[in-house]
């Protein structure tokens, strides 16, 4: 195997024996083959659109789900991946038929044969054969030119991240045909040997543009269903009673779990990226949404072992379950681990039954932390914020956010937040906030110094806050007293970065290490065009930013 799509990739170069995330070579090969198969499907889907035909919903939806399943820490189950591969071939052949039909309707002649490798792929007959096929189609086979291969990887990971966000939006009824069309066009382009480096750079920027629309759709989906987030204290203690811990990003899973547990004497606790759920009126109305337990995804093996109830993983962030809680953990959606019971159709009866069998918590009140500072809430007090800036009470804003992880060096973000001067405000989002969100930062004239914008899924809110401030001060975003100090881990972070670059945002500090899939020449381009830079030390970076 060779995988380098996440920040924690082995030795900073690539996982070759087994994945740091926990996937084995078999799973890695199946995921590589699935991406390869999706390229073949996408070649035909793109050709269908070019010929004026219609790509059906099943093909569009499958592309999202299959890509999402290859994101880090989602699907570790060979049997499920085998099912995806068989479905991929079936839909590729269907797309081929749609292409031939659309071409004949438009041109009145037989469609030209397509000979690009993925378009002609036929899956092996068994799992071992599929694994062998996957071994031939990893990232090292993307392109012989290092820089073009790097740009193709960036685009591929960006499309994976965008597919994850689009899938979340689609689950809640929001879709845009342009997103499906771009995903197919981008994947098809990765097989086109006539394209050069700048062609793929342009596609990466377009990926950022399309992801901005995707995140807007997801924001609309959340707020239309659950209301706009409002500032809300979340207790970190426990209530006496049976307990379920829900982790991941899927708010619809949480809502259904709350409905199914209502009146049963079970308290539901959020974990990881579910913490922002407490800010939504449509979710916090459930009295048994008790609070938040635990922190970021990388601590789950310790925290889940100590949790005296059932655990539900809804999206990416799953780690290898330890034996001492294997019977207590369940998966849903696209998340899977061999031997872990999977919930279908949002029927969480087995989760509830297991929670009733386990002892649950005793009463232990804890500290409150604030969540719910989405763009609607922050912009609601924009006049106060702008006044504080003009009066000199707020000198600078820092967006310190992104993915957390176990790799050494992430204490930088805690230290940076603690050392930020008291006349600065910290915006944060995603699970990187667990590095410092329990600290007391105080306030500036009633404005909390720490504003939790939400999940990584809520990056749209952070962007809207920045754009609104730029508009209020009649300057560009890069001229604001605002610095982005970002941590990354997986592919959703990659596509958010592409969105920021599409918007022309410069001077981003990125860490804890730079992506292994960015070649030296591509990195040089990013530095020259956007002044993107690795983090150094909190003291040095603060001095460079604030002077």
Q: What is the CATH classification number for the domain harbouring 442?
A: 3.40.50.2030
Statement to judge: residues 90 and 191 lie in one domain: yes
Q: What is the CATH classification number for the domain harbouring 71?
A: 1.20.1270.20
Statement to judge: residues 412 and 540 lie in one domain: yes
Q: Is 506 within the bounds of a domain?
A: yes
Residue 400 contacts residue 413 (beta carbons within 8 Å): yes
Residue 302 contacts residue 278 (beta carbons within 8 Å): no
**How many domains would you assign to the chain?**
3
Answer with the one of 224, 259, 277 that is the final residue of a domain. Answer: 224
Statement to judge: residues 183 and 138 lie in one domain: yes
Q: Is 1 within the bounds of a domain?
A: no
**pLDDT mean values, one per 10 residues, the chain (547 residues):** 96 96 97 98 98 97 98 98 98 98 96 95 97 97 97 98 98 97 98 97 98 97 97 98 97 98 98 97 98 95 97 95 97 98 97 98 97 95 94 97 87 97 97 95 96 94 94 95 96 97 97 96 97 97 96
Statement to judge: residues 205 and 245 lie in one domain: no
Statement to judge: residues 340 and 423 lie in one domain: no
Separation between Cα atoms, residue 479 and residue 473, nearest integer Å: 9
Statement to judge: residues 99 and 157 lie in one domain: yes
Statement to judge: residues 166 and 294 lie in one domain: no
Q: Is 462 within the bounds of a domain?
A: yes
Statement to judge: residues 23 and 157 lie in one domain: yes
Q: Is 371 within the bounds of a domain?
A: no
Phi, psi of 419, deg, nearest 5: -85, -10
Closest listed residue to residue 506, CA positions, set 532, 470, 482, 545: 532
Q: Is 185 within the bounds of a domain?
A: yes
Residue 327, exposed/middle/buried by CB under 10 A (0-12, 13-18, 19+)? middle
Separation between Cα atoms, residue 166 and residue 153, nearest integer Å: 20
Q: Is 308 within the bounds of a domain?
A: yes
Residue 81 contacts residue 34 (beta carbons within 8 Å): yes
Distances (CA, A) of 450 to 385, 393, 401, 482: 13, 15, 12, 14
Radius of gyration of the chain (CA): 23
Separation between Cα atoms, residue 321 and residue 300, nearest integer Å: 9
Q: Token pair 């811990």 is at which residue?
A: 245
Statement to judge: residues 173 and 302 lie in one domain: no
Statement to judge: residues 208 and 245 lie in one domain: no
Separation between Cα atoms, residue 180 and residue 57, nearest integer Å: 10
Answer with the one of 224, 255, 281 that is the final residue of a domain. Answer: 224
Closest listed residue to residue 249, CA positions, set 185, 161, 188: 161
Please state, as a whole number, how many other Cβ atoms lie within 10 Å of the Cβ of residue 319: 18
Residue 130 contacts residue 123 (beta carbons within 8 Å): yes
Q: Is 531 within the bounds of a domain?
A: yes
* pLDDT at residue 422, as a whole number: 97
Statement to judge: residues 211 and 237 lie in one domain: no
Distances (CA, A) of 138 to 131, 326, 464, 517: 11, 31, 37, 13
Q: What is the pTM of this model?
A: 0.97
* pLDDT at residue 407, as a whole number: 78
Token pair for 493: 């972070």
Task: Please give the order of strands across the beta sheet that includes 289-292.
Answer: 289-292, 266-270, 242-247, 310-313, 329-332, 341-343
* pLDDT at residue 409, as a whole number: 83
Query: What's the domain range around 410?
Result: 376-546
Answer with the one of 191, 224, 257 that is the final residue of a domain. Answer: 224
Q: Which residues contact 163 (CB under 8 A, 6 or more apart)?
A: 63, 64, 67, 68, 183
Separation between Cα atoms, residue 261 and residue 267, nearest integer Å: 8
Q: Is 134 within the bounds of a domain?
A: yes
Statement to judge: residues 28 and 64 lie in one domain: yes
Distances (CA, A) of 407 to 106, 316, 403: 55, 18, 12
């Amino acid at each position: 195997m060779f995988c380098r799509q996440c920040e924690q990739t082995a030795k900073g170069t690539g996982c070759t024996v087994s994945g740091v995330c926990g996937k084995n070579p078999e799973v890695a090969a199946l995921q590589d083959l699935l991406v390869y198969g999706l390229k073949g499907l996408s070649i035909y889907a793109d050709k269908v659109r070019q010929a004026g035909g219609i790509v059906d919903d099943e093909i569009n939806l499958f592309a999202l789900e299959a890509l999402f399943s290859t994101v880090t820490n989602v699907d570790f189950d060979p049997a499920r991946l085998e099912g995806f591969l068989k479905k991929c071939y079936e839909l590729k052949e269907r797309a081929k038929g749609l292409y031939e039909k659309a071409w004949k309707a438009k041109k009145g002649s037989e469609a030209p044969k397509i000979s690009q490798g993925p378009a002609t792929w036929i899956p092996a007959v068994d799992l071992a054969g599929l694994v062998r096929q996957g071994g031939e189609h990893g990232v090292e086979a993307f392109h012989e030119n290092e820089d073009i291969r790097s740009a193709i990887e960036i685009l591929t990971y960006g499309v994976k991240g965008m597919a994850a966000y689009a899938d979340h939006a689609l689950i809640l009824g929001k879709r845009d045909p342009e997103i499906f069309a771009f995903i197919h066009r981008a994947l098809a382009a990765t097989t086109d040997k006539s394209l050069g480096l700048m062609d793929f750079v342009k596609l990466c920027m377009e990926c950022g543009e399309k992801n901005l629309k995707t995140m807007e759709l997801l924001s609309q989906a959340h707020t239309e269903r659950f209301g706009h987030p409002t500032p809300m204290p979340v207790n970190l203690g426990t209530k006496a009673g049976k307990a379920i811990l829900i982790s991941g990003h899927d708010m619809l899973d949480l809502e259904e779990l709350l409905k199914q547990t209502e009146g049963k004497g079970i308290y539901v606790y959020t974990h990881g990226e579910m913490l922002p759920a407490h800010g939504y009126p449509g979710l916090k109305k459930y009295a048994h949404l008790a609070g938040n337990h635990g922190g970021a995804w990388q601590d789950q093996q310790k925290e889940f072992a100590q949790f005296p109830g059932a655990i539900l993983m809804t999206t990416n962030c799953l780690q290898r379950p330890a034996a001492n809680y294997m019977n207590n953990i369940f998966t849903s959606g696209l998340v899977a681990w061999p031997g872990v019971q999977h919930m279908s159709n949002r029927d969480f009866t087995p989760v509830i039954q297991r929670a009733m069998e386990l002892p649950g918590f005793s009463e232990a009140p804890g500290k409150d932390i604030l969540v719910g500072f989405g763009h609607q809430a922050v912009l609601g007090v924009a006049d106060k914020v702008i006044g504080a800036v003009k009066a000199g009470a707020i000198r600078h804003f820092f967006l310190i956010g992104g993915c957390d992880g176990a790799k050494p060096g992430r204490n930088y973000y805690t230290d940076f937040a603690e050392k930020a001067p008291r006349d600065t405000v910290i915006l944060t989002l995603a699970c990187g906030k667990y590095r410092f969100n329990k600290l007391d930062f105080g306030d500036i004239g009633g404005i909390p110094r720490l504003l939790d914008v939400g999940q990584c899924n809520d990056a749209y809110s952070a962007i809207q806050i920045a754009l609104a401030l730029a508009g209020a001060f009649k300057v560009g975003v890069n001229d604001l007293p605002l610095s982005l100090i970002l941590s990354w881990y997986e592919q959703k972070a990659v596509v958010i970065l592409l969105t920021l670059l599409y918007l022309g945002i410069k001077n981003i500090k990125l860490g804890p290490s730079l992506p292994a899939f960015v070649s030296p020449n591509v990195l040089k381009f990013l530095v020259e065009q956007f002044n993107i830079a690795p983090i150094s030390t909190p003291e040095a970076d603060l001095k460079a930013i604030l002077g």
